[in-house]
Amino acid sequence: MPKFIKNMRFKFEFSRSLERSEGSESDWNLLDNVDFSIESKDFIGTGLGIFLGTWYFFSGHWIANNCIAVTVAILAIEFIRLNKFVNGILLLCGLFVYDIFWVFGTGIMMAVAKNLDIPIKVTFPRDFLSNGLFGKQLALLGLGDIVIPGIFIAMLLRFDTRLGRKNSYTYFYSGYIAYIVAIIMTFVMMHVFKHAQPALLYLVPACLGAPLLIAFVNKDLGAMFKYEDIPEIKVQSQEIKAPDESKKDN
């Protein structure tokens, strides 16, 4: 938020009307747990969201679609956590097989992606040079191909932070660069074979292989597999001892 815009916080509390009773000073009773706070910056976000939603609803333009889709992807990456790297590896490997089967084995995946007109994909016009922003021949990338590897790469960043090595984000950058290279490879293969490609076919080996190989070289594999994104909270039980009856006053 720009510094010249002052951010203010507002708090709203809800109450209900009551019949005035004897000795009561107010006709209103505050409702428990029915209040919320909002900041002035939230009005900007709300206004922008309404604008994008309205624009997409009436035009279906690919820029509005992409703004909404990327917002959903960012929120998903921020809030979804896998806790352990083993969970991330199993998830990516499972979706690797799933994506290959549904793209190469059947045409269902592409049919759904093309015909389902909701912002669950990022699109870009292939005829941009000839038709500009109003191109109709759209290339697409499903949100799953962004969110799933993104969750794993975000965990790599938190792992780097946990290691506490000064100004070192080795595993995050390795996963991030691997993702970019794999995405480029996906579009190259689409152009070469003139056929839809399962992005996870390239993303999974790259996003898993690069950080795991570096962890093996740096001898961090043990620390990586022991790492927990959401550490368990150990609650120590306190023994309640009964008071000694002999100490009671008679």
Q: Among all residues, which ones are annotated catalytic?
A: 99, 145
Name the β-bridge partners of 122: 141
**3 state SS for the chain:** CCCCCCCCEEEEEEEEECCCCCCCCCCEEEEEEEEEEEEHHHHHHHHHHHHHHHHHHHHCCHHHHHHHHHHHHHHHHHHCCCCCHHHHHHHHHHHHHHHHHHHHHCCHHHHHHHHCCCCCEEEEECCHHHHHHHCCCEEEEECHHHHHHHHHHHHHHHHHHHHCCCCCCHHHHHHHHHHHHHHHHHHHHHHHHCCCCCCHHHHHHHHHHHHHHHHHHCCCHHHHHHCCCCCCCCCCCCCCCCCCHHHCCC
Between the alpha carbon of residue 228 and those of residues 31, 90, 107, 153, 241, the distances in Å are 40, 15, 39, 15, 36
Structure-token pair, residue 206: 């790259």
Name the β-bridge partners of 16: 29
